[in-house]
Structure 1
Amino acid sequence: MSPDGRSFFNRLTQKLFLCFLVSLSFFDLKADSPKYSAEILNVNYSKNKFDLSVCLSRPFDWRLTPFVSKKTFPGNAPPWLPDPPRTRHRITWGTEGMFDWFQYDFIQLGNYQFADEVTVRTELWGGKVIIGKFNPETNTLLYDGLEYVPFLPAPKFTVRVSENMKTWETIESVEIPIRDSDNGDCFRISINRAIKKYEYITVNVSYQ
């Protein structure tokens, strides 16, 4: 990514505008760049609490981005645990043509080379060669029979409310997901608040 691109990325803030009357009536979506987008897929309200499912889309260079598998696997935990943690396979492109491939509870190392805009050739230590294919339409990497999604830094969410769209107050009673990455899943935001008439709520999505 160019210095100008990184600067814009750091300054980017997306705003999702929600207008509530007695019940949810409509929402309008705005983004500061056509390359960045956000979408509210679902809104549920019950007992003075409503949940928003927010999905984000942002540009990235797949040749510089770590990937994690869509599928999860049992983690390394004692067999007697009632609910053992799950883990994902992870691919990280390193420097000087080196990469590491985390699987379950071990890591394989090797060399990689991008053959073209959508193909990567990897050779694990030991000689095994695996070809990966990136799909720019779905932003997924097919590697060794598994689909991988980009592992991007998670954004910061701030929720504010206003009655006139001029003066805004931050809502403190918000349950915001604590995640270290945006791996393609939607973010669920829960707001503990009774809906008032003619109240506007914004969800600010900021990339640090």
Structure 2
Amino acid sequence: MTELLSVNGSLGALAVALLVFGFAPGLFLAAIVKLLHPDDPRRRELQAELYAVPRWERPFWVAEQFEVALREGLFPNVQWYFGRWIWHRSTIESGLDFHNEFPDTFDVPEDELKEMLRPGDRAKLMWSVKRFPGERMWVTITERNGKDLVGTLDNDPIFVHLTYGDTVKFQIDDIIDCILADAAEEIGDGSAA
């Protein structure tokens, strides 16, 4: 019986050693690299380096990589999202509301012109940002469904927590200026007088 218990104890220790030094480091590292930015070259490098690290050092090496991934991959993303929704909260302002409040000094495009807007045209919107100056930026329209529009941001914001190319949803009344794609082509060709 004593021999059986010692064999079972050895098998248990062997199973734990296989898990801790064999299976777990690769599995955990595969999850850890997901914390890094998708374009970060370390995502592939770390997985290749794992098998160059001596087997007995792998659990500690993986723990170090976890710390790096948290510091450089996850925390900046959390900080960015936290900043976007808490510190730098921004909203798109209604151009029509501003025009109605200041009709002599704040112009917006005519309703007929706004009705002509289609994907490919550009619209200028304005954002207000809590505790910071607002921004006015251009968006290229990608979708239109009645008065609801979707576009991609054509500017690099300073205060608004967006990046160039982000998707922006807005209403037709939010527009403060617009450029029709056909008119922009004519101006670029020099054919418009």
Pairwise TM-score range, normalised by the shorter structure? under 0.3
> Between Structure 1 and Structure 2, which shows a larger proportion of helix residues?
2
**TM-score, normalised to structure 1's length?**
0.21
Structure number with greater Rg is 2
**TM-score, normalised to structure 2's length?**
0.22
> Between Structure 1 and Structure 2, which shows a larger proportion of strand residues?
1
Highest RCO, 1 vs 2 (Cα 8 Å, sep ≥ 6) = 1
